[in-house]
Amino acid sequence: DSGVTQTPKHLITATGQRVTLRCSPRSGDLSVYWYQQSLDQGLQFLIHYYNGEERAKGNILERFSAQQFPDLHSELNLSSLELGDSALYFCASSERLVPSGQFFGPGTRLTVL
Amino acid sequence: GNSVTQMEGPVTLSEEAFLTINCTYTATGYPSLFWYVQYPGEGLQLLLKATKADDKGSNKGFEATYRKETTSFHLEKGSVQVSDSAVYFCALSQNTGGFKTIFGAGTRLFVKA
């Protein structure tokens, strides 16, 4: 158990819908990272938050947005969903801004029908 | 841009065989390098890391050395076990104000008894 929790574990929805994925980092970790893992694209970095502030952006679509709240949990919002958004979404956390390694949650499997 | 290239899998070995998974990277400056392991149905776990040239990361019998001259970070283990069967990811992180982590495509390892 990494100490990072993600909810829900599975999510099935329809095209055009909007969903919110939630992540709680390990106690004391200030950094939260979001990743998308799919069979054809591999593991893609989406975004990094540190202590509530966005610090780095990767291949995140405009339809996707994220935020980190004062209690340090984070949410990833996915809207106008398409079939191709079906993937595993992982959250990871680390203690500091400069990571000596990240701790990954178990992931949320999103299926868009 | 930055990139990570791993040897394609799957790699199939017999128990107690020697393991090498090749990883090379392209990056400006001095990234930190990581190996992560993903067991079926789970999130990624940090296996080992190296933050500067000639550093050797090691954990659970696995080793990798940060070679700046060859831009490589190959993963090795002297004697694999069935329980080592998993997908292994090489990754690099660079400080760009935040941390954007780039993962290789992953190498699946099967170890036969």
Q: What is the average pLDDT across A8-22?
A: 97
Hey, what are B71's tokens?
């831009």
Q: Write out pLDDT tens, residues A24-40.
A: 999 999 999 999 998 87
Q: What are the average pLDDT values for consecutive 10-residue runs of chain B, which has 113 residues?
A: 89 97 91 93 92 94 96 97 96 77 93 96
- pLDDT in the model for residue A11: 97
Residues A46-79: pLDDT tens digits? 999 999 999 988 889 999 999 999 999 999 999 9
**Rounded-to-integer distance, Cα A27 and Cα B64, Å:** 29
Which of A50, A56, A105 lies closest to B43 in CB terms?
A: A105
A21 closest CA partner among A13, B17, B56: A13
Give CA–CA dist B105/B91, Å, rounded.
9
Distance from CA of B112 to the nearest CA of A (A): 25
Nearest to A106 among B43, B95, B102 (CB): B43
pLDDT exceeds cutoff 80 at A2: yes
